Amino acid sequence: IEPKLSGDFATLMEWADGVRKLKVRTNAETPLDAETARKFGAEGIGLCRTEHMFFDPARIGAVRQMIMAETETGRRAALSRLLPFQRQDFVDLFRIMAGLPVTIRLLDPPLHEFLPHSAEEIEEVAADLGADVAAMQRRVTELSEANPMLGHRGCRLGITFPEIYEMQARAIFEAAVAIGKETHKAPVPEIMIPLVMTKRELEILRALVDKVAQEVFAETGYHIEYLVGTMIELPRAALTADAIAESADFFSFGTNDLTQTVFGLSRDDAGKFLPYYTEKGILPKDPFVSIDVDGVGALVEIAAEKGRKVKADLKLGICGEHGGDPASIHFCGKAGLDYVSCSPYRVPIARLAAAQAALAGGGDRTA
């Protein structure tokens, strides 16, 4: 479908924009998605999943080396190969978004997706790292997990391998400085830390991002503004949101993982039996589609309230799939969120739903 709004539809969208209070951003990491979303009226990127950028065939070799290297030196060598790619990724996104907010989430992979699988891939990474094949097979076993979605992912990876987040932060700052020098209007990147469960994780990673920022500013002689925030996607993070808010400029609710962890339902497997639950009325609706107000929603409200008690101007958004679901958007308006973020083709629906939420009395804040 050509991403173009015209005629009566465009007029309807303008009316909706005149009413709504919630901003509408998009989840995008490719230039095509970012451009499409802008044509649909997205007012920023609310979630750039950087792990998706790592699957590019031109870089997967370096990504595997980064994960498989047994030393920091080995990881840093692979990361220095990835840095130019990442810098260009962000230059492209900043250019397309032309000053609109861009939230970049640091790496959050289920680790198994980056591990070499076939014998051929293991041999390849062994050759690249100058390691022997048996050592690489041991490394795969060491890094393999029984339940990767609850394992070594999100900021846990940034804590254990800080050089990965360091490279990404450097790529973001170097890209923002380059755009600033070129256009005299530097973007204000919003750097987002995923899967935070304790305030200490955020303190450590914020300090790391700040350190890299200072290095890049000193090297380039150019200074930019930036924000550092966190995803709230674990019940513990929601319940301790006041402590976490001390180190955060914004929260973005990751309601996909929050639903998974609140219900104890696997995101990847629930579809196998969940339709039976909804058919029989055991659950009113699929909680991965529409926010479960009593559980997940209650945690969103608790976190919003606790966070804003510490920082009245804490920016709040949602970037789980629910950000494009009209019923959930109504909930977000009532909960006082500033914006929703959804996939590009859902942006028009989100604009409409946000207007309906405002007319119904929800969403009385501005971002």
- Nearest approach in angstroms of CB 309 to Mg ion is 25
Cα atoms in the Cβ-side hemisphere of radius 13 Å centred on 161: 25
Decide which of ligand PEP, Mg ion, none touches 169; Cβ closer than 5 to 8 Å per partner kind: none
The H-or-E segment that residue 342 falls in is: strand 339-342
**Known binder of ligand: residue 256?**
yes
Q: Between 240 and 255, name the residue whose CB sits nearer to ligand PEP.
A: 255
Q: Active-site residue among 48, 155, 319, 332?
A: 319
- Nearest approach in angstroms of CB 154 to Mg ion is 7
**Known binder of ligand: residue 105?**
yes
- Nearest approach in angstroms of CB 108 to ligand PEP is 6
Give dist(CA 118, CA 144) in Å, integer. 14
- Nearest approach in angstroms of CB 212 to ligand PEP is 23
The contact pattern for Mg ion, residues 84-103, with x = CB under 5 A and - = no contact, is --------------------
**Known binder of ligand: residue 233?**
yes
Give dist(CA 212, CA 169) in Å, integer. 7
Q: Between 180 and 297, name the residue whose CB sits nearer to ligand PEP.
A: 297
**Known binder of ligand: residue 220?**
no
**DSSP label at residue 267:** T
1: helix, strand or coil: coil
**CA angle in degrees (0–180, nearest 5) for 289-294-234:** 70
Contacts of 5 (CB under 8 A, 6+ apart): 13, 39, 40, 41, 348
**Known binder of ligand: residue 18?**
no
Residue whose CB is nearest to Mg ion in the complex, by number = 257
**Known binder of ligand: residue 254?**
yes
Q: At what angle do helices 7-19 and 347-359 cross, to 10 degrees?
A: 50
Query: For residue 250, which phi and psi values (nearest 5 degrees)?
Result: -155, 160
Interaction between residue 254 and Mg ion (CB under 5 A): yes
User: In the chain, helix, strand, coil percent, each to 5?
Assistant: 60, 10, 30
Decide which of ligand PEP, Mg ion, none touches 320; Cβ closer than 5 to 8 Å per partner kind: ligand PEP
Decide which of ligand PEP, Mg ion, none touches 255; Cβ closer than 5 to 8 Å per partner kind: ligand PEP
Q: Between 128 and 257, name the residue whose CB sits nearer to ligand PEP.
A: 257
Instruction: Count interface residues toward Mg ion (CB under 5 A).
Output: 3
Interaction between residue 257 and Mg ion (CB under 5 A): yes
Give dist(CA 328, CA 285) in Å, integer. 12
Give the bridge partners for 102, in sequence order: 45, 189
Query: For residue 186, which phi and psi values (nearest 5 degrees)?
Result: -75, 140
Give dist(CA 110, CA 107) in Å, integer. 10
48 as an active site residue: the answer is no
Binding site for ligand PEP (CB under 6 A): 47, 49, 108, 233, 254-257, 319-320
Decide which of ligand PEP, Mg ion, none touches 49; Cβ closer than 5 to 8 Å per partner kind: ligand PEP
Give dist(CA 171, CA 106) in Å, integer. 11
Decide which of ligand PEP, Mg ion, none touches 46; Cβ closer than 5 to 8 Å per partner kind: none
Decide which of Mg ion, ligand PEP, none touches 319; Cβ closer than 5 to 8 Å per partner kind: ligand PEP
In 10 A of CB 118, how many CB atoms? 8
Question: What are the residue numbers of the active site?
Answer: 319
Residues in contact with Mg ion by the rule CB under 5 A: 233, 254, 257
Task: Please give the annotated binding residues, written as ranges.
Answer: 49, 105, 233, 254-257
| Numbered residues of the known binding site for Mg(2+) | 233, 257
